Amino acid sequence: MQKQVFDLMKSYNDSVMASTTRLGELNLKTCETLAGKQAEIFSQCVESVTGHMEKLSQQSDFNQAVAVQLAFAQNCSEKMVANLRDYTGVLTETRDELSAITEEAATELAEKMEQAGELLKEAA
């Protein structure tokens, strides 16, 4: 019976280690994705501001300058909404993967606890 208990404990520990590894990989992937998106956003901002300043500096009429400012603000708003949707997508995907890892770990734990109970019944 001791061998069976130790085998059960080893199996459970292997499962926990696999879940922990998956969680670490998920965290790394999420951080890399979000960091990449931040770099893209920063690049977009630099390009937008540079382009905007060029257009604005070419305007001699106040109304044209205001129109350039409005177009810039609208463009920035659209990009912000798109970026927020991207972030939400990444975080939703991460949440779903984390839920799957958690559910699998809970199922594994329940199975191991049931097996441990059966071993105890057999020993009694």
The residues, ordered by sequence, that sit 6+ positions from 52 with a Cβ below 8 Å of its Cβ are: 68, 72
At 58 the three-state DSSP class reads coil
State the number of CA atoms in the 13 A half-sphere of 11 facing the CB: 13
Q: Is the pLDDT of residue 1 over 80?
A: no
pTM over 0.85: no
Tell me the per-residue pLDDT of 52-70, one tens digit each, with 9 for 90 and over: 999 989 999 999 999 999 9
pLDDT band at 6 (very low <50, low <70, confident <90, very high): confident
Token output for 45: 């901002």
Whether residue 15 is predicted with pLDDT greater than 80 in this model: the reply is: yes
Contacts of 104 (CB under 8 A, 6+ apart): 19
Q: What's the first-to-final CA gap in the chain, in angstroms?
A: 11
Instruction: Report whether pLDDT(7) > 80.
Output: yes
In this prediction, residue 66 carries a pLDDT of 94
pLDDT of residue 124: 72
